[in-house]
Structure 1
Amino acid sequence: MRVLLVNVPHPSIGSRIPDDHLPPLGLLAIGGPLIDDGHAVRLIDAEFGPMSIAEVVSEATGFAPDAVLFGHSGSTSGHPVIAAVACALVKVMPRVLIVYGGVFPTYHWREILHDEPYVSAIVRGEGEETARRLMRALEYGRDLADIAGIAFRDVSGPRATQPAPVIANLDACRIGWELIDHARYSYWGGLRAVVVQFSRGCPHLCNYCGQRGFWTRWRHRDPVRFAKELARLHREQGVKVINFADENPTVSKKVWRAFLEALIAENVDLILVGSTRADDIVRDADILHLYKKAGWQRFLLGLENTDERTLELIRKGATTAVDREAIRLLRQHGILSMATWVVGFEEETDRDHWRGLKQLLAYDPDQVQLLYVTPHRWTPYFRLAAERRVIQPDRRRWDYKHQVLATRHMAPWRVLAWFKFTEMVLQCRPKAIWRVLFQRDAGLRHAMRWYTQMGRRVWPHEILEFLRARRLKWGPSVREFWGAPQDDEEQSMTATRPERRVGRREAA
Structure 2
Amino acid sequence: MNRNAKILLLNPPHTAIGSRVPDDHLPPLGLLAIGGPLIDAGFAVELLDADYDPLSPEEIVRRVRAAAPRIVMVGHAGSSTAHATILELATRIKAALPEVCIVYGGVHPTYHWRETLTQCPAIDLVVRGEGERTALLLAQAIVSHGLVATVPGVAFRQDGRVWATRQAKPIANLDDYRVGWELIDFARYSYWGGRRAVVVQFSRGCPYLCSYCGQRGFWRSWRHRDPLRFARELAWLHREHGVEVINFADELPTASRAAWQAFLEALIAENVNLTLVGSTRAGDIVRDADILHLYRRAGVIRFLLGIESYDPATLEAIRKDATPREDTEAIRLLRRHGIVSMATYVVGFGAETDHDYWQSLKHLLRYDPDQIQLLYATPHQWTRFFETVAQREVVQTDTRLWDYKHQVLATPGMPPWRLLLWVKGIEVALQLRPRALLRTYFSRDPEFRHAMRWYVQMGRRVWLREVGEFLFGKRPRPSGLSLAEFARQQRESVQGLAQGLARAPAQVVLPAAVRGRLSGT
TM-score bracket, shorter-length normalisation: over 0.9
Aligned counterparts of 1:271 and 1:481: Cα–Cα separation in 2: 43
| Equivalent of 1:201 in 195, 199, 205 | 205
- Contact 1:6–1:70 (CA<8 Å) still a contact in 2? yes
**Any idea what the Cα deviations from partners look like across 1:123-176, whole Å, max 9, x if unmatched?**
000000000111111112332221110110122501111100000000000000
| Equivalent of 2:21 in 17, 20, 27 | 17
Counterparts of 1:251-290 in structure 2, within 5 Å, are 251-290=255-294
> Letter of the aligned partner of 2:448 in structure 1?
L
Aligned counterparts of 2:45 and 2:437: Cα–Cα separation in 1: 47
1:388 partnered with 2:392: yes
Counterparts of 1:285-324 in structure 2, within 5 Å, are 285-324=289-328
- Contact 1:12–1:397 (CA<8 Å) still a contact in 2? yes
| Equivalent of 2:88 in 69, 84, 105 | 84
Runs of 4+ residues over 3 Å off in structure 1: 483-486
| Equivalent of 2:142 in 126, 138, 142 | 138
| Equivalent of 2:479 in 474, 477, 482 | 474
Match of 1:490 in 2: none
> Letter of the aligned partner of 1:346 in structure 2?
G
Structure 2: which 5+ runs fail to align? 492-521
- Contact 1:382–1:485 (CA<8 Å) still a contact in 2? no
- Contact 2:211–2:385 (CA<8 Å) still a contact in 1? yes
- Contact 1:249–1:276 (CA<8 Å) still a contact in 2? yes
SS at match of 2:82: helix
Aligned counterparts of 1:155 and 1:48: Cα–Cα separation in 2: 38
Aligned counterparts of 2:487 and 2:60: Cα–Cα separation in 1: 29
Aligned counterparts of 1:52 and 1:37: Cα–Cα separation in 2: 32
Greater displacement, 291-300 / 375-384: 375-384
Match of 2:35 in 1: 31
1:351 partnered with 2:344: no
**Any idea what the Cα deviations from partners look like across 1:50-78, whole Å, max 9, x if unmatched?**
11111111111111001111111100001
- Contact 2:439–2:449 (CA<8 Å) still a contact in 1? yes
- Contact 1:201–1:246 (CA<8 Å) still a contact in 2? yes
Q: Offset of 1:106 from its aligned partner?
A: 0.3
SS at match of 2:10: strand
1:224 partnered with 2:217: no
| Equivalent of 2:380 in 372, 376, 381 | 376
Aligned counterparts of 1:444 and 1:299: Cα–Cα separation in 2: 12
Q: Offset of 1:470 from its aligned partner?
A: 4.7
SS at match of 1:77: coil
Q: Which TM-score applies when normalising by structure 2?
A: 0.92
Aligned counterparts of 1:255 and 1:454: Cα–Cα separation in 2: 33
Q: Offset of 1:346 from its aligned partner?
A: 3.1
1:367 partnered with 2:371: yes
- Contact 2:407–2:476 (CA<8 Å) still a contact in 1? no
Q: Offset of 1:472 from its aligned partner?
A: 3.4
Greater displacement, 428-437 / 233-242: 428-437
1:250 partnered with 2:254: yes
Counting aligned pairs with the same residue, the percent is 62
Distance of aligned partners of 1:197 and 1:269 in 2 relative to their CA distance in 1, 3 Å threshold: same
Structure 1: which 5+ runs fail to align? 487-508
| Equivalent of 1:332 in 331, 336, 339 | 336
- Contact 2:416–2:476 (CA<8 Å) still a contact in 1? no
**Any idea what the Cα deviations from partners look like across 1:26-69, whole Å, max 9, x if unmatched?**
00001000011111100011122211111111111111001111
**Any idea what the Cα deviations from partners look like across 1:419-478, whole Å, max 9, x if unmatched?**
000000000001111111101111111111111011111111101101221543133222
Greater displacement, 135-144 / 453-462: 135-144
> Letter of the aligned partner of 2:60 in structure 1?
V
Match of 1:167 in 2: 171
**Any idea what the Cα deviations from partners look like across 1:61-107, whole Å, max 9, x if unmatched?**
11100111111110000111111111111111111111000000001
Greater displacement, 455-464 / 94-103: 455-464
Aligned counterparts of 2:143 and 2:485: Cα–Cα separation in 1: 39
Greater displacement, 178-187 / 140-149: 140-149
- Contact 1:53–1:85 (CA<8 Å) still a contact in 2? yes
SS at match of 1:408: coil
> Letter of the aligned partner of 1:217 in structure 2?
S
Aligned counterparts of 1:81 and 1:485: Cα–Cα separation in 2: 17
SS at match of 2:80: helix
Match of 1:123 in 2: 127
> Letter of the aligned partner of 1:399 in structure 2?
D
Q: Which TM-score applies when normalising by structure 1?
A: 0.94
- Contact 1:105–1:112 (CA<8 Å) still a contact in 2? yes
Greater displacement, 272-281 / 409-418: 409-418
> Letter of the aligned partner of 1:479 in structure 2?
A
SS at match of 1:69: strand
- Contact 2:396–2:407 (CA<8 Å) still a contact in 1? yes
**Any idea what the Cα deviations from partners look like across 1:473-506, whole Å, max 9, x if unmatched?**
13322222234999xxxxxxxxxxxxxxxxxxxx
